[in-house]
Amino acid sequence: MSSGVPSRWNDAASLKRVRRRYAAERRFRAVGLAAVALSVAFLAFLLFNMASKGLGGFTHYEAALPIDFAKSSLFIDPAALNGPDAEQTVASADLTDTLSSAATAAYGQAAADMFGDAAMHRLTKTILANPSVLNGRTTLWLPVSSKVDVAAKGDADAASEKLVSALEQRHALRRTVNMDFLTESDATDPSSVGVWGALKGSFFTILVTIALAFPVGMLAAVYLEEFASKNRWTDLIEVSINNLAAVPSIIFGLLGLAVFLDFMNLPRSAPLVGGLTLALMTFPVIVIAGRNAIKSVPPSIRDAALGVGASRMQVTFHHVLPLALPGILTGTIIGVARALGETAPLLMIGMRAFVAAPPGGITDPATVLPVQIFLWSDEVDRGFVEKTSAAIIVLLLFMLLMNGLAIYLRNRFERRW
């Protein structure tokens, strides 16, 4: 706007300028909306991508296999099946060969390795549950090997493709829910892997984390907010808590490796050490959330309790803390959810080992779900891609559940004074 020349709001130049400014306004707003939409779209794509890749992992293909046990080379002493070593007896029998020869007899030479470890487990279980099958000829539905499974689900090499279409023509192929995926542990064969061992390991690890981080975090928050006098010492505590909350997680892994494993000689790969490491990582989050929750309890509550003769300790533990607890819990859930998805520090303390048996306690070697995902993602076998995505779906469900719970708690107990 040049000086001296009088301008009116409704002359052509002004109107044009206003139009331009309004256009800029609309553009700016559209850019903002686009940014939000892009972020949400990315999330949707990520979730859709994982779901479309992984949902297949919860089902698998089974093929009908006629086996003539009476004529096969398999020999299992029926008497031993009643004894305590039944499992051992079946396991030491040559089931692989039986499966292979039965498959070639039924479907030709191409089917020789149509059945893998998963089918062997199923066969073992069937024989143990019902030893009378050994006396004659039966048709069993057994899970096919990973290669055939991948082919049946739509992309693989020509040979497996041909076998699958042959099976389908004879109606010898069906798709069922893969219960093994939820009940089994890690294995070398993708057709027989499952997440149970990792889930159990995650459970024990998180249990240790909560048992340590929640009380310590809550008590530290109480001290800093209710009792600590403002001085250099508490400043130092405050700075270190704020800093710990932002220290990269892998550094906690290095700490765990140097202190818990090398210095204290605690067992490697165990949920105990994993939980300790994650607890150190989680507790600053709990302290910060706890302090905010305690701070938001109005002073009148404290004054009233002090007024009727309660000690400061009683004021805190009988009145302030119960009111602040929902807020502390919300913070704890968010911190624990983060710990549940953490991988890097656990790699540092050796939780990347191949563990085929679910852990029985907090000192047994174990793996956790995110680490299991990481390990499977490294496998070259095609069958593992699907299993990895399926495990990711399980992990994401847990995360959404925990975050949902935190949001619910926040809305349910949020109180304005």
Partner 1 sequence: MSLGLALVATLIVALAAGWFGYVRASRLRTTSRLHSLPFYHGAYATLWAAIPALLILALWAPVQSRLVDQAVLSSPEGRALPQFEMQRESILSEGREIANGEREQGFNPQSSTLAPRIRAEESRFSLFGGVAAIMAALVAAGFALRRTAPQFRARTGVERWVMIVLFAASLIAILTTLGIFLSLMFESLRFFRLYPVQSFAFGLEWSPQTAIRADQAGSSGAFGSLPLLWGTFFIGAIIAMVVAVPLGLMSAIYLTQYAHPRVRSWLKPILEILAGVPTVVYGYFAALTVAPVVRDFGLSLGIGSASSESALAAGSVMGVMIIPFVSSMADDSIAAVPQAMRDGSLAMGATKSETIRKVLLPAALPGVMGGILLAVSRAIGETMIVVMAAGLAANLTANPFASVTTVTTQIVFLLTGEQEFDSPKTLAAFALGLSLFLITLLLNLIALHIVRRYREQYE
Which residues, 293 to 322, sit near partner 1 by CB under 8 A?
A: 311-313
For 308-331, b/e burial (b = at least 16 CB within 10 A) is eebeeeebbeebbbebbbbbbbbb
- Our CB check for partner 1 shows the closer of 203 and 223 to be 223
- CB count, 10 Å around CB of 37? 11
The minimum distance between CB 236 and partner 1, in angstroms, equals 6
- Our CB check for partner 1 shows the closer of 42 and 75 to be 42
| Rounded Cα distance, 201 and 213, in Å | 18
The two beta strands, 173-177 and 137-143, are unpaired
Q: Taking Cα atoms as reference points, which of 357, 245, 223, 338 lies closest to residue 291?
A: 223
Residues 29-88 that bind partner 1 (CB under 8 A): 29, 31-36, 38-40, 42-43, 46, 49-50
- Our CB check for partner 1 shows the closer of 103 and 218 to be 218
- Our CB check for partner 1 shows the closer of 105 and 338 to be 338
- Our CB check for partner 1 shows the closer of 274 and 370 to be 370
251 binds partner 1 (CB under 8 A): yes
With contacts defined by CB under 8 A, name the span among 72-80, 103-111, 165-173, 398-406 that binds partner 1.
398-406
The minimum distance between CB 331 and partner 1, in angstroms, equals 14
- Our CB check for partner 1 shows the closer of 76 and 373 to be 373
Dihedral pair phi/psi, residue 270, rounded to 5°:
-95, 150
With contacts defined by CB under 8 A, name the span among 83-91, 117-125, 174-182, 217-225 that binds partner 1.
217-225
The minimum distance between CB 377 and partner 1, in angstroms, equals 5
**Are the CB atoms for 196 and 262 separated by under 8 Å?**
no
DSSP string covering 301-313: HHHHHHHTT--HH
- Our CB check for partner 1 shows the closer of 24 and 207 to be 24
341 binds partner 1 (CB under 8 A): yes
Candidate residues 28, 174, 183, 211; the one interacting with partner 1 per rule CB under 8 A: 28
Dihedral pair phi/psi, residue 178, rounded to 5°:
-90, 90
Candidate residues 86, 166, 182, 259; the one interacting with partner 1 per rule CB under 8 A: 259
The minimum distance between CB 63 and partner 1, in angstroms, equals 29
| Rounded Cα distance, 237 and 283, in Å | 13
Candidate residues 287, 315, 321, 366; the one interacting with partner 1 per rule CB under 8 A: 287
With contacts defined by CB under 8 A, name the span among 72-80, 112-120, 149-157, 283-291 that binds partner 1.
283-291
Q: Taking Cα atoms as reference points, which of 228, 406, 411, 383 lies closest to residue 334?
A: 406
Candidate residues 193, 293, 348, 394; the one interacting with partner 1 per rule CB under 8 A: 348
| Rounded Cα distance, 131 and 237, in Å | 67
Residues 372-391 that bind partner 1 (CB under 8 A): 373-374, 377, 385, 388-389
Residues 97-126 that bind partner 1 (CB under 8 A): none
**Are the CB atoms for 282 and 217 separated by under 8 Å?**
yes
Which residues, in sequence order, are bridge partners of residue 61?
A: 175
Q: Taking Cα atoms as reference points, which of 321, 341, 344 lies closest to residue 333?
A: 341
- Our CB check for partner 1 shows the closer of 133 and 250 to be 250
The minimum distance between CB 275 and partner 1, in angstroms, equals 15
The minimum distance between CB 255 and partner 1, in angstroms, equals 5
- Our CB check for partner 1 shows the closer of 107 and 376 to be 376
| Rounded Cα distance, 255 and 411, in Å | 37
Q: Taking Cα atoms as reference points, which of 331, 350, 402, 367 lies closest to residue 203?
A: 367
Which residues, in sequence order, are bridge partners of residue 68?
A: 137
Helix H or strand E segment including 138? strand 137-143
Residues 224-243 that bind partner 1 (CB under 8 A): 224, 227-228, 236-237, 240-243
1 binds partner 1 (CB under 8 A): no
Q: Taking Cα atoms as reference points, which of 179, 102, 117, 297 lies closest to residue 305?
A: 297
197 binds partner 1 (CB under 8 A): no
